[in-house]
Amino acid sequence: MNDEAIIEEPREDEVRGLDRDRVEAIRDAVEARDPERLNDLIEPLHPADIADLLEQIGGQERAELLSLWSREIDGDILSELDESIREEVIAALPPEVLSEAVRELESDDVVDILEDLEEPQQEIILDALEDADRVAVEQAMSYPEYSAGRLMQRETVVAPEHWTVGDAIDFLRSEDWLPDQFYHVILVDPRMKPVGNVTLGRLLSSKREVKLRDIAEESFRTIRATEDEADVAYLFNQYHLISAPVVDGDDRLVGVITIDDAMNVLDEEHEEDILRLAGVGEGSLSDNWFETTKQRFPWLFVNLLTAILASLVIGLFEGSISRIVALAVLMPIVASQGGNAGTQGLTVAVRALATRSLTYSNVGRVIGREIAQGVANGVFFGLIMGAISYIWFGQPMLGVVIGLAMIINLFAAALAGILIPVGLEKLGFDPALSSGAFVTTVTDVVGFFAFLWLATLILL
Amino acid sequence: MNDEAIIEEPREDEVRGLDRDRVEAIRDAVEARDPERLNDLIEPLHPADIADLLEQIGGQERAELLSLWSREIDGDILSELDESIREEVIAALPPEVLSEAVRELESDDVVDILEDLEEPQQEIILDALEDADRVAVEQAMSYPEYSAGRLMQRETVVAPEHWTVGDAIDFLRSEDWLPDQFYHVILVDPRMKPVGNVTLGRLLSSKREVKLRDIAEESFRTIRATEDEADVAYLFNQYHLISAPVVDGDDRLVGVITIDDAMNVLDEEHEEDILRLAGVGEGSLSDNWFETTKQRFPWLFVNLLTAILASLVIGLFEGSISRIVALAVLMPIVASQGGNAGTQGLTVAVRALATRSLTYSNVGRVIGREIAQGVANGVFFGLIMGAISYIWFGQPMLGVVIGLAMIINLFAAALAGILIPVGLEKLGFDPALSSGAFVTTVTDVVGFFAFLWLATLILL
């Protein structure tokens, strides 16, 4: 750590991220193959910004930049890199740079990098670690993917529960090595079972003779190593945790999870939900067009099937359409309103399930509300659309038909928008991933059928 | 704070949230009007879970529960409550309970509560505060909404930059009052300008004679009080900050923002983006059907207009449809595939803009990728749908028409899906809010027009 000259530097000059000018200058330096200028431009950046830079430039430029600058890549930059290009960057590093980079990281960060790599690259990184770190990382990798065990850092700061503040401070001062960031001293019993957390602020503000147990935090939660990382993120968010001890099946302390890890998971979960709702699978902005085409394809294919199903419904009424062409003109409106209303409802439901605010206690009330809302908006838009159709085509009964179809479809949309995500969740599927296809199928089929069937019944 | 009996309690019995049985038992106790049983059931819950309970039960039940239990509502519960029901709960509290509740909160939490209340309730709360707190809260309220100044807590822990570790520890021990949570001692110059951060871990592990400036963190960022809270959340997430000093226009320290506040903002921003993308405005699960109807209405209305526009396009080709009814059967497929492809692209673009990964440096490359992807999927689905239509209706040229229309529309979808959100962002609009309507309009209009126009040209 750079202990000098921190205070003296004018803080206003701090580089606050990538701006357009700097990126342009970096590009010029790469093109001029000028490693010194390149280093002057990149070096003042935060590792997170350097990672962004590598993600945002094109593949060709990235390769050229790395060929000039790969010796400066450190562990922090690797940690910040998006997994979609991490493999590529790691492959470009000289072996000694890679060894140096992973050695300086804490075990949870090494695990995070390792998870997304192929076997041969994993081996290279494991070989680069010192023995103790290697064992720690391999143990972490033995926990299931997306579990607290993978997320935790194994380096913990513990104190026996009978210690005083003075004991703890003396111990901390005598330790050569402490984690980069820690927020609690974890109190443990003789079997290494965590029994309480003392915040560092409390430790610092208490007299030396005070017992640690007397200043432990009121609220204290441990996390099982096998717990799902999404549940961990929920706990941190719900209970405003800063750090929490992780225990094994025997309740013994095996690590600690800190809020920045939880914030990361929360961020990823959100991102996943948004992209899944839109039918975009895994994917990153640095993926090329071919990968992107493959990612977008499955959902478009599912959508094609539902669209064909809807067309089959329309096909049932070819005779009616050939007699009243206005039906063909108006029918997409009914389906489209239904699709949008359904998407509104399902998005609210998916989010409420994800944040655990839609539970057993209120699901009945929310279903009722959605139905009432569907009927209300259905009546509203039924009236509007009925009037418009009457004016447009001069047939009052056509207005009645589309009005009724609109009410029916917005009712169906409301029902599908809440029942489908709730049902999928109950069956153990991710509602974000598949609700959209089901709901759209319902609103397309019901929309076209209700409109064309009513028209056939009433108008012909 | 409860300093006793923390260690002795069996940790496994800790209440980890609301389960179905407890909610049922609480409902029974409310119905039986049994305040003691109710208290036994609610009291062990974390304030966040009590807030969830109040949000999840119905309005009627909530009123009954509050009539039995309002005296136990404290500041922490009020802080956790969703703003949609906070006003209602505050109105139900006896004045002395409300005073007590707000007095125990820190200034940023009071501001957070105050922001969402109507004038008369704001007055009641301000009156309940002690003078110093009232001034602090009023000063915070003078910053713009959604600014760092509203988010920050004014209580800071500072030390002159020339102090030693021993000076700092002695000072902290002698202070009667310290914030609940703090993670750094902020070093300030004589003009109260923050010049560095010392983590508490570093403070605890250093010898008494070490100078604070020598153990300051390498990376240090201050935040302007007028900065937007979304930017603050970005900074915390990007640079893994735990707490950051907030400064006024003269660079003087006025407060501190901690990671939990930033995590909250990040969470809200995500939520807002998801709901806006789905055309659901502000809204909460505890809103009733009437409020929900009003919230959903505007987007449905916009959608109706775009659907009518699409219908007008169809109307141009009434003659063609009346001669080939198959056109009416197939045309929704072209529009639907375009709509879905456009939504995929715009969601990726909106997210990338929100996370600042789509920038000047890569926008050209991403546009190129989206177009290539659109053409590739267009050709793919064009071929599939062309073949299906040929088999279905036995007309080879109908297959050619729908195939071409599909390529055109997926190309248009790709273009609209990236250019519309990027353009809206550039013009200063929130792309999450309005991209959907524009993109769907493009894909509907282009989809119907391309298909029906090609059909008219080629088949008739």
Whether the pLDDT of residue B104 is over 90: the answer is no
CA distances from B148 to B187, B231, B232, B247 (A): 20, 9, 7, 10
Instruction: State the pLDDT at residue A104.
Output: 86
Q: Name which of B236, B292, B302 to mutate to probe chain A: the one with the most chain A Cβ atoms within 10 A of its Cβ.
A: B292
Contact state of A201 with B183 under an 8 Å Cβ cutoff: yes
Average pLDDT score over residue span A199-218: 92
Average pLDDT score over residue span A178-196: 92
Pairing of strands B184-188, A243-247: unpaired
Q: Could you tell me if A377 and B300 are in contact, meaning their C-beta atoms sit under 8 angstroms apart?
A: yes
CA count, 13 A, side-chain hemisphere, A142: 7
Q: Which H/E stretch holds residue A196?
A: strand A194-199
Question: Residue B48: which of B71, B20, B79 has the closest Cα?
Answer: B79
Contact state of B181 with A201 under an 8 Å Cβ cutoff: yes
Instruction: State the pLDDT at residue A448.
Output: 97
> For the residues of B201-267, what is the DSSP string, one character each?
HHHHHS-TTSBGGGG--SS---EETTSBHHHHHHHHHHHT-SEEEEE-TTS-EEEEEEHHHHHHHHH
Which one of A1, A196, A332 has the shortest CB-CB distance to B6? A196
| A220, closest residue in chain B (CA to CA) | B11
Whether the pLDDT of residue B315 is over 50: the answer is yes
Q: Which of A176-185, A246-255, A396-405, A416-425 has the lowest mean pLDDT?
A: A176-185
Question: Residue B360: which of A69, A52, A447 has the closest Cα?
Answer: A52
Whether the pLDDT of residue A12 is over 60: the answer is no
Whether the pLDDT of residue A117 is over 90: the answer is no
Spacing of C-alpha A262 from chain mean position? 11
Q: Place B124 in a pLDDT band, splitting at 50, 70 and 90.
A: confident
Whether the pLDDT of residue A6 is over 80: the answer is no
Instruction: State the pLDDT at residue B118.
Output: 85
- For chain A, percent of residues with pLDDT exceeding 90: 68
Which one of B199, B270, B280 has the shortest CB-CB distance to A181? B199
Which of the listed ranges A352-366, B17-31, B86-100, B338-352 does the model predict with the highest average pLDDT? B338-352
Whether the pLDDT of residue A2 is over 70: the answer is no
Contact state of B238 with A187 under an 8 Å Cβ cutoff: no
The DSSP symbol for A214 reads G
Q: Could you tell me if A58 and A87 are in contact, meaning their C-beta atoms sit under 8 angstroms apart?
A: no
Q: Which H/E stretch holds residue B419?
A: helix B396-426
Binning chain A into helix, strand and coil, the percentages to the nearest 5 are 65, 5, 25
Contact state of B172 with A205 under an 8 Å Cβ cutoff: yes
Mean pLDDT of all residues belonging to chain A:
90
Average pLDDT score over residue span A317-330: 96
Average pLDDT score over residue span B72-100: 90
Instruction: State the pLDDT at residue B15.
Output: 54
Q: Could you tell me if A217 and A242 are in contact, meaning their C-beta atoms sit under 8 angstroms apart?
A: no
Q: pLDDT tens across A232-272, in order?
A: 999 998 998 999 999 999 999 999 999 988 988 988 888 89
Instruction: Tell me the chain B residues in contact with residue A1 when contact means C-beta distances shorter than 8 Å.
Output: 218
Mean pLDDT of all residues belonging to chain B:
90
CA distances from B277 to A194, A318, A356, B199, B269 (A): 44, 35, 21, 40, 12
Q: Place A155 in a pLDDT band, splitting at 50, 70 and 90.
A: confident
Which one of B11, B157, B328 has the shortest CB-CB distance to A328? B328
Distance CA A34, CA A32 (A): 5
Q: Which residues contact B360 (CB under 8 A, 6 or more apart)?
A: A20, A23
Instruction: State the pLDDT at residue B16.
Output: 63
Whether the pLDDT of residue B5 is over 90: the answer is no
Whether the pLDDT of residue B122 is over 90: the answer is no
Distance CA B65, CA B77 (A): 14
Instruction: State the pLDDT at residue B9.
Output: 39
Average pLDDT score over residue span B45-68: 91
Going along chain A from its start, the domains and CATH numbers come out as 17-142 (1.25.60.10), 158-277 (3.10.580.10), 289-459 (1.10.357.20)
Instruction: Tell me the chain A residues in contact with residue B388 when contact means C-beta distances shorter than 8 Å.
Output: 308
Distance CA B129, CA A116 (A): 53
ipTM exceeding the 0.90 mark? no
Residue B178's DSSP bridge partners are none
Average pLDDT score over residue span B261-273: 89
The DSSP symbol for B13 reads G
Whether the pLDDT of residue B11 is over 60: the answer is no
Which one of A23, A169, A327 has the shortest CB-CB distance to B204? A169
E strands along B282-356, which residues?
none
Residue B196's DSSP bridge partners are B187
Helix A47-56, helix B229-239: angle, nearest 10: 100
